[in-house]
Amino acid sequence: MAEHGTLDRVMAPPWLATLDDTIRACAAHDRSDLAERLLLRRARLLEPGRRVVMFGRAGQGKSQLVNALINAPVCAVGDDVTTVVPAVVRHAETPTASVVTGSVRPALGGSIERSGAPVESVSARANKLAKVRDDVLRSEIGLPRTLLSAGLVLVDSPAVGDARCPRTIRAMGALAEADAAVLVTDATGELTALELDVLSQIVRLCPTVVVVLTKIDIVPDWRDVAEADRRALEEAGLPSTVIPVSSALRLAAVRADDRGLNAESGFGDLITHFQKSILADPGAVVAKAAAATSKLALDQLIAPLRQEFEAATPTTDAAALADWHAAGRRVEELQREASRWQTQLSDDVADLMSDVEYDLRDRTRKILREVDDYFEVADPAKVWDEFEEWMTENLTALAEVNSDWLLERFEWIANRIAREVVPDADRLPASVLRALTGEHTEGLRKPHIEKFTPVQKLFVGLRGSYSGLLMSGLATTLAGLPLINPISIGAGAAFGARSVFEERGARLKRRQAIAKTTAQRHVDDFFLSYGKETKDSMRVIHRALRDRFAEVAQRLREEATASAREIKRDLEATAARRSGRAAEVRRGLESLTALSGRIDAAQSLPAPRGLTA
């Protein structure tokens, strides 16, 4: 048994091994549909007899051509008759016929049924059933004919037309199982674009093709049509063998046993062509069909693999690379912005400090001017309590206005930096802008105010009246009056009153000057105290802003750095995946290309006789 198996492997035709390898390649590349079709094709190629499928447009004489070849009316013909399902005619010792129904893939586990029918009407019955049933596969006819006994199997296929038409689908299914194909076209017109297109598709699947020109008996200039068809075939790069025939003359010659009429029908040339191109070396026909089938399947495998190889070739993703460069530029930009906004913040705070100090100095000067104007007329001894309350209220209001303006300016600075320099930062939290708190100055200390008491007024008045009395008395003594006289007494009283009045004014001026000085010192103390607290607060807020923006900028830099790192990892991972997939696809392409080369080599080798039919 081992020796027998080894002999089978040695004697097996090359196309069988390559076809099996193609089937395995289809399965390996997840193309079960191709593998299934190839298995069906393999089963057909291993069957005895070589299938010759007649195909063409409707009304071209396909069915009559089959009848004329075997000299039997087995295929339904007529102006109102259309072939719906294939009719398969093969050799049999006695005439047999049946309608085949069931699964379209019996070789893959389906089941079929055959129902007997008369030979002359089986094709018509199958066509009629196929119009109402979907499971009618074909009609099968067996006849004892010499042409058929040589291994020829004739198949009359439905007409080809619209690709979506069921008849066209059945016709293409029959052609998929063909070892050789015959394009049937009549002599009433040249080959159409549809016929050339269908033929170009069939040649890829079944290289053994011939064009038969029918109905030459009714077309006087059929030779011109035949020559035009040959030119059209040559221009399209298709097999250009054109054999003119007349089925009517063939049938008439058979009935009359007229050799001359038979020769005129052209069927002798057609049968000779079949014998030379198919029956003389059926192994070569099978090898060509198997090779074409394998090549067609390999083309369907290789084309998407080539596209995938080009897509999987390690190339840099332009969009991802642009994102990575953008992320890197973002990191660098944030680093530059970090020093920029810190410098800008320091400059803004310095400007604010200068503005705040100027505002504070300007407001305190206004208060001092009001104090000077007030104490030009007011007596500090009488209004000091009222003045002290006014001073406290004004300095407190000044501090509130100045501090509010300071905080507003800080918030404006912070939000401007956040908007222009660090756009992703939040608005500055209220906790950062701390209001100025605490007492800005001590209470206004009351200055020492000298009072003008009645005793002091008495002594000042006595001093002034004595001088007036003495001066007036001495002056009046020259007139002979005594030293003390009414005039000197009046003058003394006037001088005493004037002295008291002048002393009171002088004392008021001193009190006003002392009050102004005291107010000036108090405002200076306020300016120093509040100014110190303001500067301290500005430094605290400045540090808080700097730390806040530094935190935000650091977070943004970390996010940008992480994004750039993630994009780079994705780029590297994608490149690695593409590189791995490209290597895998390249190996697949190399394997399929090598298999394609083996198919080409197998076509050039002669098939061992006795194993292909």
The string of pLDDT tens digits covering residues 12-41 is: 777 788 888 888 888 888 888 888 888 888
CA distance 102 to 115: 11
pLDDT value, residue 345: 79
- SS3 (DSSP) at 152: strand
**How do residues 129-188 score in pLDDT, each as one tens digit?**
888 888 888 999 999 998 899 889 999 999 888 777 888 888 888 888 899 999 999 999
Q: Which residue has the tokens 């009407």?
A: 121
Tokens of 233: 């075939």
pTM of the shown model:
0.59
Q: Which residue has the tokens 């590189």?
A: 579
**Whether the Cβ atoms of residue 48 and residue 59 lie closer than 8 Å to each other:** no
248-254's contacts with Cβ under 8 Å and 24+ in sequence apart are 248/64, 248/215, 248/217, 249/217, 250/68, 250/69, 251/67, 251/68, 251/71, 254/68, 254/71
Question: Per-residue DSSP letters for 212-240?
Answer: EEE-TTS-TTHHHHHHHHHHHHHHTTS--
Beta bridge partners of 53: 155, 181
* Number of residues written out for the chain: 613
- The contacts of residue 234 (CB under 8 Å, 6+ apart) are 240
Each domain of the chain, given as residue ranges in start order, spans: 15-46+291-312, 48-280, 318-448+518-598
φ and ψ at 156, to 5 degrees?
Answer: -90, 110
Beta strands in 42-107 (DSSP E): 50-55, 87-91, 96-102
Which secondary-structure segment (H or E) carries 142?
A: strand 136-143
CA distance 126 to 106: 19
pLDDT value, residue 174: 86
Say if residue 467 is exposed, middle or buried (CB neighbours under 10 Å; 0-12, 13-18, 19+).
Answer: middle
**Whether the Cβ atoms of residue 170 and residue 68 lie closer than 8 Å to each other:** no
Most distant CA pair in the chain: distance in Å? Answer: 206
pLDDT value, residue 609: 44
Q: Which residue has the tokens 């392409």?
A: 589
pLDDT value, residue 226: 93
Q: pLDDT under 50 in the chain at which residues?
A: 1-10, 107-108, 424-441, 452, 607-613
CATH superfamily of 48-280: P-loop containing nucleotide triphosphate hydrolases (3.40.50.300)
CA distance 345 to 351: 10
